[in-house]
Structure 1
């Protein structure tokens, strides 16, 4: 369906917002993965999903307009329109990143040498008739637990399944988008296709200024993705503290872009073909847009405007959930590092922020060496099954309000 063919029909705004959130986050993953692998198939998938996002945002806007029957309704629904617009901007930015591959704008190998360390790889494969996965549900396969690899989306015929769950049946001919580490991806890819998966091999950059430019870009990407996660968390938990972190991240991305531009201009003097750096500039601009959109999502919380309940409900029902838990003093995680307890590998959840007990201090994007204390509050993102496992690990299985 083309966006111009969309006509009004009653839809669940909550369901549309949840799908927009899932699709926007998937688009970020796919766009950078298409750059990493110089993979036009992944890049084309980004553009297809971008068209789907256009349809979703039209459906959301029409439904919200129909729901506004008074000035009071309009005031309540205006922040929801802001979230819709921000998700659309993220999708457009992801499309711009994918076009770097499709239009062969120019990209040095240095970016592909850096990105494998910055992203959990997303790859594409087609399920064969002979695959053991064929006609099995994701729950029966138990792929994520066994391999650490997750099916983030399925392209079936001309339709997308953007939120597959344990009841989703895989069919021969399905195009699976898989996310995970290379060792797990090799196992799943071979089982799905009968062929081996070989990660891309690239050479490290030899120009120091170019390496610095790429490092700045990768950090921009990480911060922008984190800003999006925290923005939805700020809305879900109506947390001004988390929203302020989004604002700080957006400002840092702006500063990083200035540094990136300086290093890129210096590198251009030593690169044989300076035009090959155009792709880096395009990606940096699109990455900045993503961080700006994250701030738009959190702006209502920053200004003291209560989020409409439908937004929080949509975040709760989306594919990847965001949870907030308090570390119990007697739990396994109290006085331990995230690496000690292998939180990511054991639960599949990514801890995106930690707030220290009794303080407004936030640790954003904590690493394996980050030590947790009893009473600390953690915000994490992942699957519902992973959320339950993490709840058991921290000794608090409940989301809470403060």
Structure 2
């Protein structure tokens, strides 16, 4: 049975920041558990889900203590919505992880459908005699030397999401490692002292099933993007970004309908149709995540001012969302995201590009020529940049500083 949660004074801002980081980590881990067939990672998801339950209760208690009049209720209502949405993301992530834990089963095609570029995520318990033990991440210099990143650390019942360079690794820490297949195995063995044996993905042999899985992977990507944009809409109080969240949620709904059609067709050719149940459970949970993204941005959509505590929480979370404007003659002026190697040079992921005065070459950039405030959602390497463009990007604070330098943006 879950333990009793009692009220204790706490910063709502800190609780919201931790909930945001936890929700994003839960999404990442739950899909990784399924895509890589890892019960160990799935169990970490359920541990984090329990932590989220405690966080949301404490946040609700603190908000109830803060509301003293109708004006307080109006400004705090959207905050309650954000808390509820984060809890929905947590529950949906738990449902995805249970596909692995409860052996509901998914076809091997779901792993075979992954592009080769997808990085591997593994769980490693740090051995006392590992050369990483009792050293900081800066000292180990893991990401620079191997391309493998520690995305979270669990130390007993406590979590450190997105650990920084000053984080010291201790014996017994559970490290969640993400990186290329050719490197992550060596890091796992160095950290844990155990042999690394990756699962071999199977090639999908049923066309309709392959199409269903492709639709599901696209749903996953759009839902994750919707959550990122939802927090961005709150941080920058942007109706435009919030509207994009609604559009993405509608696209996820359409993809789910397509997924269901392909899955039903595939059932006729699968030896055991019951084995498709796990795919359906993942699709339902993915739709819940996209719905939760709309709830996060609902206050903005309804014209309610974003409470300052929410803005501060998003700004101070471990993975920050920043808005950077490209200056004339900056490194990013008159180039593309790929040519400037933005991801490599900064570690930041650009999730959207806004061209305030409308694009000069809309067809080339995938923009709407009739709009005075054009957006590129999910920009790629070929997305062109020019002075005046506004980039929304997600990553570390150090990476954000490097991105500002490339853009020539001196604003805080």
Q: TM-score, normalised by structure 2?
A: 0.93
1:130 equivalent in alignment to 2:143: no
Deviation at 1:103, TM superposition (A): 0.8
Which residue number in structure 2 is paired with residue 158 of structure 1?
A: 157
3-state SS of paired residue (1:334): coil
Q: Give the match's secondary structure for 1:129.
A: coil
Q: Pick which of 172-181 and 264-273 moved more.
A: 172-181
Q: Is the 8 A contact 1:148 1:345 kept in 2?
A: no
- The corresponding residue for 2:191 is 192
369-378 or 313-322, which deviates more = 369-378
Greater CA deviation, 136-145 or 105-114? Answer: 136-145
Q: Which residue is equivalent to 1:271?
A: 270
Distance 2:167 2:48 in 1: 20
Question: Are the counterparts in 2 of residues 36 and 116 from structure 1 also a CA contact under 8 Å?
Answer: no
Q: Which residue of 1 aligns with 2:12?
A: 13
Structure 1: how far apart are the matches of 2:127 and 2:34?
26
1:381 corresponds to which residue?
394
Map of 2:377 onto structure 1: 364
Q: Structure 1 residues 329 and 184 mapped into 2: Cα distance closer, same or farther (>3 Å)? A: farther
Does the 8 Å contact 1:3/1:58 carry over to 2? Answer: no
Q: Distance in 1 between matches of 2:82 and 2:149?
A: 27
CA deviation map 1:11-44 (0-9, x unaligned): 1111100000000000011101110221111111
CA distance in 2, matches of 1:323, 1:117: 29
Write the deviation string for residues 162-221 of structure 1: whole angstroms up to 9, x where unpaired: 342222110111110112332342343233234454543212211111111011000000
Q: Is the 8 A contact 1:323 1:380 kept in 2?
A: yes
Alignment of 1:162-181 (within 5 A): 162-181=161-180
Contact 1:136–1:169 (CA under 8 A) maintained in structure 2: yes
SS in 2 for 1:214: helix
**1:310 aligns to what SS in structure 2?**
helix
Secondary structure, counterpart of 2:132 in structure 1: coil
CA displacement at 1:347 relative to structure 2: 1.3
Displacement of 1:232 in angstroms is 0.3
- Within the alignment, does 1:247 sit opposite 2:260 as a pair? no
Give the match for residue 144 of structure 1: 143
Q: Distance in 1 between matches of 2:180 and 2:237?
A: 33
TM-score by length of 1: 0.95
Matches of 1:117 and 1:318 in 2, distance apart? 31
Q: Does the 8 A contact of 1:388 with 1:397 survive in 2? A: no
Q: Partner residue of 2:31?
A: 32
Q: Give, in whole Å, the separation in 2 of the partners of 1:193 and 1:397.
A: 43
In structure 2, the residue matched to 1:42 is 41
The verdict on how the C-alpha distance between 1:98 and 1:61 changes in structure 2, with shifts beyond 3 A counting, is same
**Structure 1 residue 239: Cα displacement:** 0.9
Contact 1:29 1:122 in 2 (8 A): no
Shift of 1:158: 3.0
Contact 2:37–2:199 (Cα < 8 Å) also in 1: no
1: CA distance between counterparts of 2:119 and 2:61?
36
Deviation at 1:120, TM superposition (A): 4.0
Q: Which residue of structure 1 aligns with residue 223 of structure 2?
A: 224
- Structure 2 unmatched runs, 5+: 359-372
Moved more, 337-346 or 302-311: 337-346
Deviation at 1:122, TM superposition (A): 2.2
Q: Does 1:74 align with 2:87?
A: no
- Could you give the per-residue CA deviations for residues 207-242 of structure 1, whole angstroms, max 9, x where no partner exists? 111111011000000000000000000000111111
Q: Is the 8 A contact 1:221 1:287 kept in 2?
A: yes
* Whole-angstrom CA distance in 2 between matches of 1:142 and 1:216: 37
**For residue 392 of structure 1, what is the aligned residue in structure 2?**
405
1:127 Cα shift?
A: 1.2
After superposition, the C-alpha distances for 1:293-325 in whole angstroms (9 at most, x for unaligned) are 000001111111111010110011111010110
Distance in 2, Cα, partners of 1:237 & 1:61: 24
Which is worse superposed, 143-152 or 86-95? Answer: 143-152
Q: Which runs of 5+ in 1 are unaligned?
A: none
User: Which residue in the other structure is 1:327 paired with?
Assistant: 326
Please give the per-residue CA displacement for 1:330-386, whole angstroms capped at 9, x wherever unaligned.
112222221112211221111100112413111111111212122111101011111
Measure the CA separation in 2 of the matches of 1:118 and 1:300.
37
